[in-house]
Amino acid sequence: MQWETVIGLEVHLQLATRSKIFSGSATTFGAEPNTQASAVDLAMPGMLPVLNALAVRYAVMFGLGIGADIGRRSVFDRKNYFYPDLPKGYQISQFEAPIVGRGSFEIQLEDGTTRAIGITRAHLEEDAGKSLHEDFHGQTGIDLNRAGTPLLEIVSEPDLRSAAEAVAYLKALHSLVTYLGISDGNMAEGSMRCDINISLRPPGSDTLGTRAEIKNVNSFRFVEKAIRHEFERQAEILEDGGKIVQETRLYDADLDETRPMRSKEVANDYRYFPEPDLLPVVIDEAYIESVRADLPELPTEKRHRFVEQYGLGHYDANVLADSRELAAYFEAVVAACGDAKIAANWVQVELLGQLNRGELSLNDCPVSAPALGGLIKRILDNSISGKIAKQVFEAMWQGAGSADEIIAARGLQQVSDTGELEGMVDAVIAANANQVAQYLAADEDRRKKLVGFFVGQVMKLSKGQANPQMVNDLLAKKLV
Amino acid sequence: MAIEQDEIEKIAELARIRIAPGQIGEVTQRITEILGMVDQLQAVDTSDVEPMANPLDAVQRLRADEVTEENRRDAFQAIAPAVENGLYLVPRVVE
Amino acid sequence: MHDKSVAQLIAGLRAKQFTSVELSRCFLDRIAALDPGYNSFITVDETAVLAAAAAADERIAAGEAATLTGIPIAHKDIFCTNGIRTSCGSRMLDNFVPPYDATLIDKFNREGAVILGKTNMDEFAMGSSSESSYYGPVRNPWDSSLVPGGSSGGSAAAVAALLAPAATGTDTGGSIRQPAAFCGITGIKPTYGRVSRLGMVAFASSLDQAGPMAHSAEDCALLLNSMAGYDPLDSTSSELPAEDYTARLGDSLQGLRIGLPKEYFGEGLQAGTARRIEQALKEFEAQGATLVEVSLPHSHLTIPTYYVIAPAEASTNLSRFDGVRYGHRCSDPIDLHDLYTRTREEGFGAEVKRRILIGTYALSAGYYDAYYKKAQQVRRLIKQDFTACFEQVDVIAGPTTPGPAFALGAKSDDPVAMYLEDIYTLAVNLAGLPGMSIPAGFVDGKPVGLQLIGRHFGESQLLNVAHRYQLATDWHLQRPAGAIGGAA
């Protein structure tokens, strides 16, 4: 039987503020347990929250980035439940009046098409601490360093139809938030965590099936696997005539399966109500305009501009605009060499190839954008061939200096001296009488193929440094 | 609004307060009395009234994103019931 | 020394008539001798008191004294004090020694005031009689068979019994004004947001406000000067600059319009109290004020409104007491659920549990609109009543309570009867207004309190009205028999 998968994602994004959302504690990842937990974070008696301005600004940046309505008067609420990683016994979140309202943004699918995915809302809240289940004599250890880290919870519409679309959505979201600089997007450190709502229905149906929620899936790969697994589980139940139970499930990456969560928040009543220790956050037009004025160019705009301004294909534009750093690198190469197409090719093939092989990030790249631009310039002015350029690039990667230094030091300069080349061409013609005879006897089409032999011989003689175009021209003149 | 004993038990569970079996009847009775008094509110027409969460109708101020807190773990954990290796201990939590 | 006003003590310290150590010693001795009869203090740390007093004396000697340097002040045990147990009258915090100070305590410390001790109170400030404390009930210095009022009953009793020259309290629904009235002292609850709530154990966040309790309006003004002001760490604290609350104390009352809400003088007000209040109002008329009848038509709804909002906020404010990071923890919990439920069963007293349950109920699914949201709407109507009144009058006056102090145990088994005690005080908190209670005579030897209510941030005017009354009367100078004599 055929099923349509309906997926909505709730992404918890840690915002890249230095201090917590409601206290002055540091948010640095990986500190010793409870060394970044202040009296406020520990919910000591009498402690009160004060809202971090940058968390608000980041939320508004996100809202503007997805073209959403910004909540002019957003309200924090208490979400009440007991859990040891939640020191106050309530999480300060936003329920009825979130800071970011409805918006949407574009995702790129593998076949090159794009789709707009709706965002229902995004709201600010505080992260919880961590429970460590290693053995403390049969007890659980609680680390509250993470408690109070600002989160933006981004809730999508149930607009996604496959695991691949869900991953494309997450990648686009990751790209957007890192462009905006509002999150480091580091999934391994939990900066971007995902809850997946998934249900199945017969194709063409416009009602939603009963959904399961899969909590806390923390990598693109696991999202894909969790959805595939959950699809199979639900399809099997439905095909056996069963019913899906609405429940919260946990994805177990080790076993590659989802299973129901046993404890947390089962059939809870969160008793949301406006947080009386905080007041409504009022955002006016002037504030929004000041944030808008500081927004960087966003991935979608950049992709479109790369296509128009540089004449790149959609695929190339997509790859190059994927991260703000890569796009900036690419544009700096273009600025240095003046040829966008060659620059696009070098950045994607040689540069990304080297980075991938070395498992390096762009920050660790040993060849600067102007340096790569300098190399490309030597291809463009015929100083070196593309083939030699790859050697030079390899040497640059090893730290041997600039393109010009390497070319000079290793004598890689292309031979473009007519006299010198003529000598080599004459020598090749003299040494290969048979081939010359064949060539002269051949028709136009065949000649085009045979000339390659002579070019090859000249290149061999010049150790690859002969200017191929000039060699071609000379051969055409002399083979008559 | 009358409240049944099982509802009190549900509420007590939400509030994580154990009520000894012998006391549940009395607790239910007291709460019923209080809710009876509170029910006067239902007679008021408030259809056009904006709820008031803060008596001054003030708005939120924002603080600059600065780290102002230092590590005071030792002082805080000196008053904790159970800690080990810098962690607060609770009976094992099963997810 | 023990029967001097704060203003007189400041002058005495400056004039080197006595030192802060001598002054503090005097009150420590009185506490040791007399407090077993009142139970007004939970914690008194003699060593710390004398050390702070000695430091104050050095500061005075160096000519660096601030207004309150060297003055011993008792603090309600709801304010966190670094290194001194802060129990909030609860078993839950019996072992809780905060490693930090409340902003209010910090401000007094900077002034060089001496923390004389921590006063007894209704558990988590939930009560009107100071009987629900884990540390036993407080007794009224005027008659030890009576309650002192609550929840700041320990502070009121300590001041009335001359065990402290002044004290701090908190007022969520009348918890400064009602015990001030019952114990014959002066207390002011400032405008919501005037005094920082940071480090004050929260009961109901949108209602709680700290204020001074002393013998006179002048002393209250002196203390309020140190307490009031913007705190960047309390989002609900007001940025409006604090005033010098002593500056206008002597202003004439000529032309002052005093509103008398008819709802505060009707059924329910006891005849003896009514007579004392009427007599007090005549004094204002004599000083040139005019009395204007006004109406607060939603007055009958203040109790139900309050008893939804306060428990709702309290129910979640008290969720942090879970036995994990501080405070009471039940022994040998078998699992997490047992840890929570038994810790909270053992740590909280009956009234606190009752209010947590009511608040949880009022916020729970299906009831939120009917209770919490409804109460927040009625709250606005109550505030609008006052706004309308203040278009006609400058201050509002009436009784603080329906009658004088009642007997210990008289209402402790009947929560609803106890809640009715707060009928005239609750609205002030719901509307966020400043209110105060001043002594206005006696009924059968029991003090009666006159309540004054002002506009938002109208503390100076209230203190002025109270001070002018106290210049003309001596009710605030009456002392209970048991407090006179003893160590002087």
Interface residue of A48, A80, A139, A143 to substitute, partner B, most B CBs within 10 Å: A139
Are the beta carbons of A226 and A249 closer than 8 angstroms?
Answer: no
| C201-211 residue pLDDT tens | 999 999 999 99
- What is the residue-wise DSSP string for A322-344? SSHHHHHHHHHHHHHHS-HHHHH
Tell me the mean pLDDT in the region A416-437: 86
| A31-65 residue pLDDT tens | 999 999 999 999 999 999 999 999 999 999 999 99
Tell me the nearest-neighbour CA distance from B5 into chain A, angstroms: 18
Contacts of B41 in chain C (CB under 8 A): 301, 304-305, 308, 371, 374-375, 378
Tell me the nearest-neighbour CA distance from A281 into chain C, angstroms: 11
Residue B95's pLDDT is 63
- What is the residue-wise DSSP string for A232-284? HHHHHHHHTT--PPPEEEEEETTTTEEEE-SSTTTT-----EE-TTS--EE--
Interface residue of B60, B83, B84 to substitute, partner A, most A CBs within 10 Å: B60
Query: Strand, coil or helix: what is A118?
Result: strand
Chain C residue closest to B34 (CA)?
Answer: C416
Chain B residue closest to C372 (CA)?
Answer: B51
Contacts of A41 in chain C (CB under 8 A): none
Task: Identify any residues that bridge with A252 across adjacent strands, giving them in sequence order.
Answer: A257
* pLDDT band with cut points at 50, 70 and 90 for residue A169: very high
Chain C residue closest to B54 (CA)?
Answer: C206
Tell me the nearest-neighbour CA distance from A11 into chain C, angstroms: 26
Residue C487's pLDDT is 45
Cβ distance of A33 and B76 shorter than 8 Å: no
First to last CA, chain B: 37
Tell me the nearest-neighbour CA distance from C344 into chain A, angstroms: 12
Contacts of A49 in chain C (CB under 8 A): 235
Q: Does B69 touch chain A (CB under 8 A)?
A: yes
Is residue C175 annotated as a catalytic residue, yes or no?
yes
In sequence order, the 6+-apart residues with CB closer than 8 A to the CB of C138 are C38, C39, C40, C120, C121, C130, C131, C147, C148, C150, C153, C154, C157
Q: May I ask the CATH class of domain C6-250+471-484?
A: alpha beta
Contacts of B86 in chain A (CB under 8 A): 32-35, 143
Q: Does B14 touch chain C (CB under 8 A)?
A: yes
pLDDT > 90 fraction of chain B, expressed in percent and rounded: 78
Count of structural domains within chain B:
1
Is the pLDDT assigned to residue C470 strictly greater than 70? yes
CA distance A84 to B89: 9
Contacts of A90 in chain C (CB under 8 A): 316, 319
Is the pLDDT assigned to residue A436 strictly greater than 50? yes
Cβ distance of B41 and C304 shorter than 8 Å: yes
CA distance A264 to A81: 9
Query: Strand, coil or helix: what is A384?
Result: coil
Chain C residue closest to B86 (CA)?
Answer: C325
Q: Which residues constitute the domain of residue B22?
A: 5-43
Are the beta carbons of A60 and A287 closer than 8 angstroms?
Answer: yes
Q: Quick one: angle between helices C46-61 and C20-34, nearest 10?
A: 160
| B17-48 residue pLDDT tens | 999 989 999 999 999 999 999 999 999 999 99
Return the CATH fold of A418-478.
Answer: Arc Repressor Mutant, subunit A (1.10.10)
Cβ distance of B51 and C232 shorter than 8 Å: no
Is the pLDDT assigned to residue A256 strictly greater than 90? no
Residue B93 lies in a domain: no
pLDDT > 70 fraction of chain C, expressed in percent and rounded: 99
Closest listed residue to residue C361, CA positions, set B40, B34, A54, A113? B34
Chain C residue closest to B48 (CA)?
Answer: C377
Tell me the mean pLDDT in the region C385-404: 98
Tell me the nearest-neighbour CA distance from C200 into chain A, angstroms: 5
Q: Which of residues 442-471 of C touch B (CB under 8 A)?
A: 456
CA distance A375 to A378: 5
| A325-335 residue pLDDT tens | 999 999 999 99
- What is the residue-wise DSSP string for C151-180? SSHHHHHHHHTTS-SEEEEE-SSSTTHHHH
Are the beta carbons of C122 and C89 closer than 8 angstroms?
Answer: yes
Contacts of B25-29 with C-beta under 8 Å, sequence gap 24+, read: B27/C353, B27/C354, B27/C357, B28/B3, B28/B4
Q: Is the dihedral of CA C91, C96, C100, C105 positive or negative?
A: positive
Is residue C144 annotated as a catalytic residue, yes or no?
no
Residue C155's pLDDT is 98
Tell me the mean pLDDT in the region A445-463: 85
Nearest to B46 among C324, C353, C374 (CB): C374
More confident position, A24 or A419: A24
| A123-155 residue pLDDT tens | 999 999 999 987 678 899 999 999 999 999 999
The one catalytic residue among C90, C151, C155, C196: C151
Q: Which residue type occupies A13?
A: L
CB pairs under 8 A between B and C: 171
Q: Does A149 touch chain B (CB under 8 A)?
A: no
Residue B57 lies in a domain: no
| C45-72 residue pLDDT tens | 999 999 999 999 999 999 999 999 999 9
Lowest mean pLDDT among B52-61, B74-83, C331-340, C384-393: B52-61
Residue C485's pLDDT is 60
Tell me the mean pLDDT in the region A317-324: 90
* C72-76 and C114-119 beta bridge pairing: parallel
* Domain ranges within chain C, ordered by starting residue: 6-250+471-484
Tell me the nearest-neighbour CA distance from A83 into chain C, angstroms: 9
| C144-195 residue pLDDT tens | 999 999 999 999 999 999 999 999 999 999 999 999 999 999 999 999 999 9
- What is the residue-wise DSSP string for C284-306? HHHTT-EEEEE--TTGGGHHHHH
First to last CA, chain A: 72
Residue B71 lies in a domain: no
Q: Where are the alpha helices (DSSP H) in chain B?
A: 5-14, 24-38, 73-77
Chain A residue closest to B67 (CA)?
Answer: A24
Chains sharing 3 or more CB pairs under 8 A with chain A = B, C
Contacts of C360 in chain A (CB under 8 A): 271
Task: Identify any residues that bridge with A132 across adjacent strands, giving them in sequence order.
Answer: A141
Nearest to C360 among B11, B44, B79 (CB): B11
CA distance A443 to A422: 25
Residue C160's pLDDT is 98
Q: Is the peptide bond before C151 cis (omega within 30 degrees of 0)?
A: yes
Query: Strand, coil or helix: what is A82?
Result: coil
Contacts of B70 in chain C (CB under 8 A): none
Backbone angles phi, psi at C486, to 5 degrees: 70, -170
* pLDDT band with cut points at 50, 70 and 90 for residue C282: very high
Are the beta carbons of C183 and C447 closer than 8 angstroms?
Answer: yes
Nearest to A53 among B65, B72, B89 (CB): B65
ipTM for this prediction: 0.96
Contacts of C316 in chain B (CB under 8 A): none
Residue A267's pLDDT is 59
Residue B49 lies in a domain: no
Tell me the nearest-neighbour CA distance from C302 into chain A, angstroms: 19
Is the pLDDT assigned to residue B57 strictly greater than 90? no
Residue C348's pLDDT is 98
CB pairs under 8 A between A and B: 125
Rounded to the nearest integer, the mean pLDDT of chain C is: 96
Q: Is the dihedral of CA C31, C37, C38, C41 positive or negative?
A: positive
CA distance C24 to C116: 7
The one catalytic residue among C5, C20, C24, C76: C76
Nearest to B66 among A19, A35, A56 (CB): A19
CA distance A160 to A5: 8
Query: Strand, coil or helix: what is A26?
Result: strand
Tell me the mean pLDDT in the region C353-379: 95
- Taken as a whole, chain B contains a residue count of 95
Nearest to A82 among C79, C200, C319 (CB): C319
Residue C488's pLDDT is 44
pTM, rounded to two decimals = 0.91
In terms of average pLDDT, the best of A123-132, A213-222, A427-436 is: A123-132
Residue B66's pLDDT is 98
CA distance C48 to C35: 19
Q: Does C376 touch chain B (CB under 8 A)?
A: yes
Nearest to A280 among B59, B62, B89 (CB): B59
Q: Which residue type occupies A30?
A: G
Given its phi and psi angles, is residue C160 left (phi above 0), alpha (psi -120 to 50 degrees) or beta?
alpha
Is the pLDDT assigned to residue A265 strictly greater than 80? no
